[in-house]
Amino acid sequence: MGASGMSISSSIGLVSGIDSGAIIQQLLSLDAQAKTPIFQRIGGLNASNAALLDVNARLLAFKSASSMFRTDDIFRSTNATSSDEGVLFANAGSSAIPGQYAFRVKQLVSTSQVMSGGFTSSTLEPLGLDSMSFEWGNGRLGRDVLLEDLNGGSGVERGSIRVEDRSGNAAIVDLSLASSITEVVDAINDETGISVSASLSGDRIVIQDGSGGNGNLSIQDVGGTTTASDLGIVANVASDAVIGDVINRLDELSLLSTLNDDNGVLIRDNVVDFRIRVGGDGGVIHAIDLGRQDASIDGETLLSDLNDGEGIRINETTGQADFSIVTTDGTQVDITLGQILDEDGEVESEAVTNVQELLSRVNATLEEEIGAGQVVMSIDADGEGFSLVDAVGGGGDLEVIGAGPFENETAEDLGIFTGTGGGSGNTIAGDRLPNTVEIASASTIQDVIDRINEQTNGAVTASVGPDGVGIRLTAAGELVSVLGDGIGGDYGTTTLEDLGFQIGVESTSLDGARVLGGMGTVLVDSVNGGAGIGDASSITITDRNGEAVTVDNLDVHSTMEELVTFLNDAVALVGVDVQVGMNAEGNGLAVSDSTGGSQNLVVSGEAAAALGIEIDVASDTARGLNIQRQYVSAASDLSTLNYGRGVGLGKFRITDGNGISAVVDIGNDSNNLYQVMNEINSRGLDVEARLNDDGDGMILVDTTGGAAAAIKVESISGSTARDLGILGEAESVGGSIDGSYERNVDLDVTDTLDEVIGKINDAGLAVTASLLNTNTGGSPLRLVLSSDISGLAGDLIVDTGGVDLGFNELTAARNAKVFIGEGAGGVLVESTSNVIDDIVAGVEIELQSASDSPVTVNVSRDETGIVDSVQAFVDGFNGVIEAINLYDSYDGESEIRGPLLGDPTVAKVKQDLYRILQQRAVGVDTQFRFLAEVGVKIAGEGQIEFDKARFEEAYAEDPEAVENLFAAYESTGTSTETIAPGVTVDNITTTYEELGFGDLFKQAIEKLTNSIDGTVTLASRNFDALIDAQNDRIAEIDQRLAAKELRLFREFTAMETTLARLQSQQSSLGMISQNLANAGALIG
């Protein structure tokens, strides 16, 4: 050991002086020369394999270029160009139809913003608010009506009208871009050349002359359109007013979804919606079902068609059960609906796909396990689901429980799940399973008329009532009444009420209440969450001079505008100087006194309370309460909820006050809110789902009557619970979870402007609060509230609970509006976004600015893209051939061999590609059948060339034939074969009746490159095997060399040991000799 602590070793013998290490290495290096040719062989094999993998990669690239002709619809790809990109951009997809389309952009989308009055400080001045509520898109008592919905759905032709006042001033009012009745009124009122005013009264337009002249007031159609006629205001009268015709009325084609202020009509499937009695007491009662009617389930019914197309979940894990049947004697039989393998691992039975296969599989399994006829599954008598009957005779209940990866879900999908302890006797009557729709649910007034006529065998005739706002029932002079008794389920009388009828009313001509919303107003029945004002008929108003009036019969009026007009007329008639109108927020009423008196302004009575204006104030004005216009109903389509953003599909878990929970799965079979509530209420929890009292959402009510914990809702998947507004936990034990779309922010009366802004933004609502500093005046600070939802769906209503912050509209919520087509026949499209998909099939329009001038969008086939794709196809083919030619080559001068010279695999690749290249397309009978006919042909060095000019000529001549040549594809699939009487097996074969060159090459390349048994794959594996074998030989040689090295080392070590021993012996002999000599000297 040296001073450094490092050991020094040497292969030079200490005794012999021989460098044994060098000798051993020389000997080993001679033996290692045997590896040199093996390494050379490995290098050659690696080069060959790398070359083959390069060919494989090029084949895959060529496959991609080939398959795109069909999979990417190359020949259907289109370009869209806009004549004015300053107004709109256009993008076209493969489904777009070439042609020219005209658009007129009336307006872009805008987002609702409101701004408060001024404040001097944002940190020192309390606002006095204890809460602030927000609503989006709904809740106002005013209601606009689209022109296309007027005149019973016949609409109003767009054009211009000529108006001449009584002083002879005339103007042409352009209504060609008007889309709603409010826009018509505004356009007339904004015309400065004439002295007239337009307003809405009931279901009419009223034109009032203000010129003071004595001529005629004239309104006429112009320009060949019928706009004025359709608006009901054509006139030429010596009068100061034109009272227009009724233009807001029902028609047989009126949509049920537009009735009741767009709250629609609840229609339930496969239940009685209501009953009609003809003939008074003891008369004939007819059950009326307005719901959808499904095809009956039979043996040929596909499982994928059940449950509204969601099908039956079957696990893909071979051999695992999908559900289990527990017989009345407790025997459990596992049922597998998926693929079944035999003992050798071969497929014995494929997964069941239709009802007959399902029943055969279930009953065969039951027979095998417990004997024939002991438990049988069948289609129920109504053809609406499945039933099971147990003949075992045990003392328990027949049950179906979950099994396998999907647990309960397969049995639930089949409608037969009971769960452990959930059976009832020896029979399971399964739930109804929605099948394919034969007759859709009623959606129009005409559908209701037809269903009533059919289901009463013509005894009852339904029609639009003579007033045009309701429905009439008659029965050839017999008494007619509508009944709700005997109807099962929640909301059993809702449908008849939604159609305007009441139980207990009987007449030979039964007229339902008004169900058509008014122009600019809502129905009285829509306020107070849909409860209306009931029988609250009386109101007393006392002005500030002490004059009082009591007005009765307010409950007979149908619309809020009609009620308020009647009230104001009655008050004015007796000289009480008080007016009732709409409050600033638009969600309630307001009362104003113009007497100048000093006493209190007082409004009282049952109707005052129902209308939110029960007041007693020392003020000239008083703001009424939010009277909660209903805009969510049981019939509300889920796509319209959540501020127009819809309710997503998904699952959530509800836990009731007793801690019991259940999962609710909202899928494609739930279309309206009633169906969601029905799903929740079917779970057996102490929780009731119903509409809330304000008519603006769903509420979950704790019904335990002594809960131990607060109810809660947790999301499992999707956004369903959040979209319904029910995600979370009740605020207290026994409390409810209210999914109201009106949201409240709790505030303190001492909160300053900054604090209010912070609390609003922290609440996570679809509104943003900000501070605006105008830097003008003594109160420059403003509170700005901006809706986070664009368009009319985000129309922001801010209610400060009577504290006047001086809010004014900064930006009105508007939908983007664009007309398709020119002139009066243009079709209006509205959107909450400036990007509108499929406004024309396959075309996306991006609006940039409004314009009175039409913009033309030209959609044409993307011929440049088609040519580029064919060029990519040619390049892909040539890339493969180029690689093969490079690797399968020999240079005579340099005598260099390619790594794949003579390789049979690349020879087959080349042969297959050339064979397809020169054949004809399969089954294509259009003009072009060979690639050479469209300019794709063999050139030098075995590659192909693309004659673009010839291709473009062929495409111009017959584009369909060129498309078929590359992209044709038609196949037939699985068939069955009878192998024994009553025994059939699937014969899984695919026959191609038509196949273009894109798929011809794609399929050939798939056979060559398939990762399991492709020709190139197998050849590459062979190279790998050969390389592994050579590496094994190298390893064997290395093992022999290592053994030899060890042996030689040991031999040299032994030699050194021997020499050392001999040297030691010689030293000993020398010492003996010296000792003898010394001894001799002493003796001598």
What residue segments make up the domains of the chain, in order of their start? Answer: 78-109+815-861, 113-138+744-811, 147-243, 256-292+440-511, 294-437, 524-623, 638-740
Instruction: Say if residues 445 and 258 touch (Cβ distance below 8 Å).
Output: no
Round to the nearest angstrom and report the end-to-end CA distance of the chain: 48
Classify residue 409 by its DSSP letter. Answer: H
The three-state DSSP-derived secondary structure of 759-824 is: HHHHCCCCEEEEEEECCCCCCCEEEEEEECCCCHHHCEEEECCCCCCCCEEEECCECEEEEECCHH
Of the ranges 26-40, 252-266, 988-1002, which is most confident? Answer: 252-266
The pLDDT of residue 45 is: 85
Model confidence at 1079: pLDDT above 90:
no
Average pLDDT over residues 700-717: 93
Instruction: Say if residues 350 and 984 touch (Cβ distance below 8 Å).
Output: no
Q: What percent of the chain is helix, strand and coil (3-state, nearest 5)? A: 30, 25, 45
Q: 904-918 and 997-1009 helices cross at what angle (nearest 10)?
A: 170
Take residue 799 and report the two structure tokens written for it.
């209610």
Span 931-957, pLDDT tens digits:
999 999 998 778 899 999 999 999 999
Which class is 524-623 in CATH?
mainly beta
> Taking Cα atoms as reference points, which of 41, 46, 53, 71 lies closest to residue 909?
53
Half-sphere exposure (CA, 13 Å, Cβ side) for 669? 20
Average pLDDT over residues 831-859: 91
Model confidence at 975: pLDDT above 60:
no
Model confidence at 128: pLDDT above 70:
yes
The pLDDT of residue 973 is: 52
The pLDDT of residue 442 is: 96
Span 18-65, pLDDT tens digits:
887 888 888 888 887 888 888 888 888 888 889 899 999 999 999 999
The pLDDT of residue 1023 is: 85
Percentage of the residues of the chain whose pLDDT score is greater than 90? 68
The pLDDT of residue 695 is: 96
Question: Within 891-958, where are the H helices?
Answer: 904-918, 948-957
Model confidence at 986: pLDDT above 60:
no
pTM of the model: 0.77
Average pLDDT over residues 844-856: 93
| Window from 507-516, 527-536, 884-893 with minimum mean pLDDT | 884-893
Instruction: Say if residues 163 and 196 touch (Cβ distance below 8 Å).
Output: yes
Classify residue 892 by its DSSP letter. Answer: T
The pLDDT of residue 6 is: 41
Collapsing DSSP to helix, strand or coil, 199 comes out as strand
The pLDDT of residue 956 is: 92
Average pLDDT over residues 441-465: 96
Q: Sorting pLDDT into bands at 50, 70 and 90, what band is 873?
A: very high
Rg (CA), the chain: 44
Instruction: Say if residues 471 and 448 touch (Cβ distance below 8 Å).
Output: yes
Between residues 484 and 127, the one the model is more confident about: 127
> Taking Cα atoms as reference points, which of 863, 877, 908 lies closest to residue 998?
877
The three-state DSSP-derived secondary structure of 329-390 is: CCCEEEECCCCEECCCCCEEECCCCEHHHHHHHHHHHHHHHHCCCCEEEEECCCCCCEEEEE
1054-1058: long-range pairs with CB below 8 Å, 24+: 1055/13, 1055/16, 1056/13, 1056/14, 1056/15, 1056/16, 1056/20
Instruction: Output the CA–CA distances (angstroms, integers) from residue 950 to 31, 73, 437, 1060, in the order listed.
Output: 67, 22, 51, 95
Model confidence at 980: pLDDT above 60:
no
Backbone angles phi, psi at 705, to 5 degrees: 75, 20
Q: Sorting pLDDT into bands at 50, 70 and 90, what band is 690?
A: very high
> Tokens 């999301």 appear where?
715
The pLDDT of residue 125 is: 92
Model confidence at 648: pLDDT above 90:
yes
Model confidence at 151: pLDDT above 60:
yes
The pLDDT of residue 8 is: 41
Q: Which residues contact 906 (CB under 8 A, 6 or more apart)?
A: 52, 55, 884, 887, 888, 900
Q: Sorting pLDDT into bands at 50, 70 and 90, what band is 144?
A: very high
Q: Sorting pLDDT into bands at 50, 70 and 90, what band is 991?
A: low
Between residues 40 and 977, the one the model is more confident about: 40
| Window from 20-29, 549-558, 898-907 with minimum mean pLDDT | 20-29
Model confidence at 452: pLDDT above 90:
yes
| Window from 191-205, 478-492, 624-638, 695-709 with minimum mean pLDDT | 478-492
Take residue 281 and report the two structure tokens written for it.
């007491």
Q: 36-71 and 904-918 helices cross at what angle (nearest 10)?
A: 20
| Window from 271-280, 407-416, 748-757, 886-895 with minimum mean pLDDT | 886-895
The pLDDT of residue 357 is: 92
Q: Which residues contact 145 (CB under 8 A, 6 or more apart)?
A: 180, 181, 248, 517, 519, 520
The pLDDT of residue 738 is: 97
The pLDDT of residue 988 is: 47
The pLDDT of residue 489 is: 56
Average pLDDT over the chain reads 90
DSSP secondary structure, 592-638, as one string: EE-S---S-EEEESHHHHHTT--EEESSSEEEPPP-------TT-BG
Classify residue 944 by its DSSP letter. Answer: E
